[in-house]
Structure 1
Amino acid sequence: VAAGPAPPGTAPGGRRPWRQLALLSGLISMDSSESSVISVLFPALRAALGLPLSALGTLVAVGKLAGMVTGPLWVMLAQRVSRKTVLVISSGLWGVWSIAAGLSQNYVQLLILSTIAAAGFAGGGALVNGILADLFDDAHRGRAAGYLYAGVAVLLAVVGPLLGLLSEVHNGWRYGFFLSGAVTVAFGLLVAAFFRDPGVGAAENPGVGAAENPGVGAAEPHRGGPARPGATVLNRAVLRELMSSRTFRLILVQRFANTQLAMVSFGVVYLVDVFHFDNATASLVSAPAAICFLIGTALGGQIVDRVQRRLPDAGRLLTWQLATLGWGVAALLATQVTWPSIGIYVVLFCVLGVLQGFNPGCNRPILMAVTRPETRSAAFAVMLSAESAGWAASTLAIGYAGSAFGLRTAVLWLVVVLNLANALFMTLIHRPLRREALALRAATADTHPRTSGAENR
């Protein structure tokens, strides 16, 4: 006998999904704080350690490359122990390495310790996105993804101005690392105490989940409910399955070529070097931009879900593409035009934040729509690895091109122009996405007839 509908506000496995989402949002928000310390405080860090502009690109790039390698490895580990355990370690307790980075005495030590920190934090993104798909059905994933990444915006809104103030304190960049690491560890302990994994595929098959066994992990049997395999191990066969999807391959290219993330790394130092604001003044754009990113994620997730209901074959992708085009135009105005006051740059960075905030509510559900529940964590690990590789390549290129040709020229070609080209490239995703999402919905309906309506709401 099929289980009845879950009460309002509860997850498929009987847990309250929004409370679980809040914990996960706080966790991955703190994972982003370590890179925020480097980006926002780089002018002060550069002066303290005598670093060239290219050092910022190297610090970010090496960390992202490390995450590209370790992200899938953390996912594989989670398939052998539990997703919760890996999250607590990789995205929580791993914050001790951020604290250690604050003790660095030279550039080499900072590079090594920040890279180790990034290698651990890479495990959070793939696992959290996979868990999100298990907490919410297709009709609510856009909004849920938006709220998930809104936590990152809240963090940056608080941390940005604080880091700007630390830039005026002797060795303030060290305190930034100390604070980031300590709060990361605290969130890891909160997840250890209060998070409950819903179980792999819980949203597609509400009769299956971890509710009956709060300690269950992704690879453990779901005692007390119908048997269902856990997340598929990331191996050659799974990778071959994922790469057989044209949509997946095109998304990997799009995420690799995404230049919006490079702007996160270079935004403050750009205002310092090109428009000659001091570090504290330049960092004033961080909080408003983060708040606007919060608005973009929360509002964008709801808009995307509504557009998807009206245009079920193209709604999310079309919204994502238009937001990407708009971001390119706003970036052109923010980086290539000299405005008379920091206030105008604050407004333009806010526009960038809103438009970038649409991304999670679009691309995460799109990837979920073309991958089986058992392969989603693996799919996100591969996608985030491609994203990290692209972020690393773009920041490294901007750092060295900025030193050679000027930061303004480097950002024009390697951020603005490439972003606009990437938006046009996304046109190629429309046809395979429509075909593959329909095929997966049909297969899911055949396997779990009760949940097919939820997938097509």
Structure 2
Amino acid sequence: MGNTPMGDDLSAPGTVTTETGTILARPTNLDPGVAIVESDGRRPDATGTKGTKGTGKAMAAMGFSQAVDNSEGGLITTFFPLIGAAFGIGEGMLGLLSAISKFARMIFGPFWAMMADKYGRRKILILVTGVWGLWTVAAGFAPNFTWLLILYAISVVGTVASEPIINGLLPDLFKQSQRGKAYGTIRAIGAGVGILLGPAIGLFARGDDPSPDAWRYAMWTMGAISILSGVLIAMWVRDPRQNTACDDMMAEAGTFKISDGVKLFKIPTIYLMAGMVVLVTSLVLLAFYPNFLVIERGVSVFETTLTMSCFSIGAVFSAFLGGRLADLFVRKFGEKGRIMLMQIYLVSFAATVAIVTQLPYEGFGAAAPITFLLGLVFSIGFSGCVLPMVSNVVPTQLSATALAMLFSLIQVGVTALMSLGLGFVAEAFSSQTMFLWFVVVPYLLNALYWMLFYKVYPRDVERQQERSDQVAAGTF
């Protein structure tokens, strides 16, 4: 899940109020493909439509970037059976590797978001998505497990950055009523690219007796693809809030402060979200599921990459479906519609995980279709409900900060601590037992927890502009 955008604080004299917040009036170097939309949804030229020139390539580049970063994280878990055999380690070390990536997200997600706010989101994306791929290449040369830990830890410091920054760009590119679709589209593009990346890299492990160095070839290849994604970001992505002509105004307004993130918890929806994410344990599922297929369901490493591509195919449909379902629920039920859909999603996902991990089956032929079912449900709640809800209640200047605090800090921090121990739980008992108590049960509890949002969320949506004005005035 997945989850942290950073919005520049552009409140200053000479601003206009828009549907997505307060932005500088006609910055001189605004991407020509990004139009300023007035609060009534009209462009200043009164065409009544929002400009979209160039946003298609930008979304493709951002979706590709997310796919690469997600695939880099999944690389270790998919190829862990070969890594374990090469270095003589068990599932406890898989938990350690998984925890490293999550601690990196917790610590460096807000850090990169801060850097993006201060130095420009596009520049930081190029650094962490493209240049940082060299560390993934280096990890493929690790002579022992200790060196693999060190080099992998450095590589994931950059891997965690793209999602928070990209999520922060989308509210600037799309008006409020279209954000569910926008978040869903980005996630769908990322999942679609993952469909091709997984099996392609998995070819290194094809056959009943794959090369013991297959995981090294995979790391080298993934690092090269990461560098390519940085090139695409440089070519196609523009930051609509970038404004070199207003450096003096931006110097103070664009600076991220930790205190801003703390202040967000004065918003009832946000502190409820902080409690909610503790019960979203899908990151645990994704960390251990590929190894579960190999060890407990008799699926080969290469077949596991194909199986996870079935998951990605399902996730493509899920992301599109989530965004559109949420927009439909909002039209029919108002702001409470997203809450209703989220509860339906949580129960559905718990039931699906129970089917995928608790039913007895063997081999690729059985694993592929039920894993597709898992992917079909996976993205509905976050693409259609959680991400738009957060962006709809926080001051528009701090939307990225909010997502960084909730998902890069709180959720991933809790998941990292869980992963440290759950690898040993799976090793001592079974992954099947671990999935039941640490994925299925928390999701069912979360469905009940979401009853608390019905009272506070609609009120917080109504107060978003008020709070944005308070941030602009320095009184929030």
Alignment TM-score, normalising by the size of structure 1: 0.86
1:190 to 217, 232, 249: 232
Contact 2:299 2:362 in 1 (8 A): no
3-state SS in 2 of match to 1:274 = helix
Contact 1:257 1:390 in 2 (8 A): no
Q: Which residue of 1 aligns with 2:133?
A: 95
Structure 1 counterpart of 2:273, one-letter code: I
CA distance in 2, matches of 1:282, 1:292: 15
Structure 2 counterpart of 1:113, one-letter code: L
The superposition leaves residues 261-306 of structure 1 with CA deviations (integer Å, 9 ceiling, x where unpaired) of: 2221111211122223332333331111101101110122112112
Q: Which residue of 2 aligns with 1:368?
A: 391
Alpha-carbon offset, residue 441 of structure 1: 4.8
Single out whichever of 231-240 and 400-409 deviates more from structure 2.
231-240
Contact 2:297 2:363 in 1 (8 A): no
Contact 1:372 1:440 in 2 (8 A): yes
**Cα distance change on mapping 1:34 and 1:438 into 2, 3 Å:** same
**Cα distance change on mapping 1:236 and 1:44 into 2, 3 Å:** closer
CA distance in 2, matches of 1:375, 1:124: 17
Q: Is 1:64 aligned to residue 102 of structure 2?
A: yes
Alpha-carbon offset, residue 318 of structure 1: 1.7
Q: Which residue of 2 aligns with 1:172?
A: 214
CA distance in 1, matches of 2:288, 2:470: 49
Single out whichever of 336-345 and 182-191 deviates more from structure 2.
336-345
**Cα distance change on mapping 1:43 and 1:388 into 2, 3 Å:** same
**Cα distance change on mapping 1:430 and 1:103 into 2, 3 Å:** farther
CA distance in 2, matches of 1:231, 1:162: 45
Structure 2 counterpart of 1:382, one-letter code: M
CA distance in 1, matches of 2:470, 2:125: 33
Alpha-carbon offset, residue 170 of structure 1: 3.7
Structure 1 counterpart of 2:183, one-letter code: A
Alpha-carbon offset, residue 234 of structure 1: 3.2
Contact 1:132 1:144 in 2 (8 A): yes
CA distance in 2, matches of 1:315, 1:149: 21
* Percent identity of equivalent pairs: 27
Q: Is 1:397 aligned to residue 439 of structure 2?
A: no
CA distance in 2, matches of 1:295, 1:195: 25
**Cα distance change on mapping 1:221 and 1:391 into 2, 3 Å:** farther
Alpha-carbon offset, residue 351 of structure 1: 1.7
Structure 2 counterpart of 1:95, one-letter code: G
Task: Summarize the alignment of residues 378-457 of structure 1 with structure 2, pairs less than 5 Å apart.
Answer: 378-385=401-408, 386-441=410-465
1:40 to 57, 61, 78: 78
CA distance in 2, matches of 1:440, 1:354: 32
Alpha-carbon offset, residue 8 of structure 1: 4.6
**Cα distance change on mapping 1:308 and 1:230 into 2, 3 Å:** farther
CA distance in 1, matches of 2:278, 2:246: 36
Alpha-carbon offset, residue 160 of structure 1: 2.4
**Cα distance change on mapping 1:60 and 1:356 into 2, 3 Å:** same
CA distance in 2, matches of 1:412, 1:266: 13
**Cα distance change on mapping 1:303 and 1:276 into 2, 3 Å:** same
Single out whichever of 278-287 and 2-11 deviates more from structure 2.
2-11
**C-alpha RMSD of the superposition:** 2.5
CA distance in 2, matches of 1:353, 1:177: 25
Q: Is 1:258 aligned to residue 280 of structure 2?
A: yes
Alpha-carbon offset, residue 102 of structure 1: 0.9
CA distance in 2, matches of 1:73, 1:228: 19
2:375 to 345, 353, 372: 353
**Cα distance change on mapping 1:402 and 1:425 into 2, 3 Å:** same
3-state SS in 2 of match to 1:80 = helix
CA distance in 1, matches of 2:83, 2:151: 15
Q: Which residue of 2 aligns with 1:49?
A: 87
The superposition leaves residues 229-286 of structure 1 with CA deviations (integer Å, 9 ceiling, x where unpaired) of: 9865332431232111121122122223211122211112111222233323333311
Unaligned runs of at least 5 residues, structure 1: 200-209, 449-457
Contact 2:276 2:449 in 1 (8 A): yes
CA distance in 1, matches of 2:449, 2:322: 22
Q: Which residue of 2 aligns with 1:160?
A: 198
Alpha-carbon offset, residue 363 of structure 1: 1.1
CA distance in 1, matches of 2:157, 2:435: 27
Q: Is 1:18 aligned to residue 56 of structure 2?
A: yes
Contact 2:202 2:301 in 1 (8 A): yes
Structure 1 counterpart of 2:116, one-letter code: A
Alpha-carbon offset, residue 222 of structure 1: 7.7
Alpha-carbon offset, residue 340 of structure 1: 5.2
The superposition leaves residues 348-392 of structure 1 with CA deviations (integer Å, 9 ceiling, x where unpaired) of: 211211111212232110100111121111112112222321332
Structure 1 counterpart of 2:384, one-letter code: G
